[in-house]
Amino acid sequence: MWLRVEEPEQADASINWARDYEFDRNWPPEEGVASPTAVDDEVLDAVADHGVRAWLPADDVEGYDALVEAGDDVRAVRFERGWVVDDRVRFDTGGADESAAEREAVDDVLVYCAERDAVYAIARDASDETASFRVTEPKKPDSRIRRARDYRFAENWPTQTDS
């Protein structure tokens, strides 16, 4: 995620202003804001609620957050936090700060969005660094739009590639 400190030439509602993320203004976290541990717990709970088994790695050097059962297969997944902006659940899939080995270690991304109280699943290679799922119907239909309802864990596990 990029943070902007200077005024842009053209205003855009999706700008992430650095002042909104200053540590002193945001600490301690507000109640209800998910910590990294809470994100892991929410994802693991959702997986278990669907009768799917998950295994955590013994250490962090594996490059993934868990191995998750996918039918007769096991998939390496990364957990990410999603947030709602402009009727979309936005999230990072990695990319800029990960090595080629880390990228190849992950098959799928499981996204927990606290505002929607939902877990979404997407193939890691479906997006480069960031992605989003549309929460509301757009004014004009577009086949390229990823609708959040289609990516809920229950509907999209094991993950399907985008068409």
Contacts with 17 (C-beta within 8 Å, 6 or more apart), sequence order:
3, 4, 5
Written as six digits, the tokens of 38 are 């809470």
Name the domain count of the chain. 1
pLDDT 10s digits, 2-58: 788 888 888 777 787 787 777 776 666 565 555 556 778 889 998 999 999 999 887
Rounded CA-CA distance 77/85 in Å is 24
Domain residues for the domain of 103 are 35-151
The span from the CA of 132 to the CA of 64, in Å, is 21
pLDDT at 142 over 50: yes
Tokens of 96: 């800029």
2 found inside a domain: no
pLDDT-derived band at 163, boundaries 50, 70, 90: very low
Are the C-beta atoms of 71 and 158 separated by less than 8 Å?
Answer: yes
Residue 113 maps to a domain = yes
Domain CATH number, residue 117: 3.40.1350.10
Q: Does some domain include residue 162?
A: no
The answer to whether residue 6 sits within a structural domain is no
Domain contains 129: yes
* Any domain includes 8: no
Does residue 23 belong to any structural domain of this protein?
no
Predicted pLDDT at 2 = 79
pLDDT at 33: 52
Strands 118-123 and 66-70: unpaired
Residue 39, in any domain of the structure: yes
pLDDT tens per residue across span 94-127: 655 667 777 778 899 999 998 999 999 999 888 7
CA angle centred on 121, ends 140 and 138, rounded to 5° = 10
Q: What is the pLDDT of residues 55-92, one digit of tens each?
A: 988 776 677 889 999 989 999 999 988 999 889 999 98
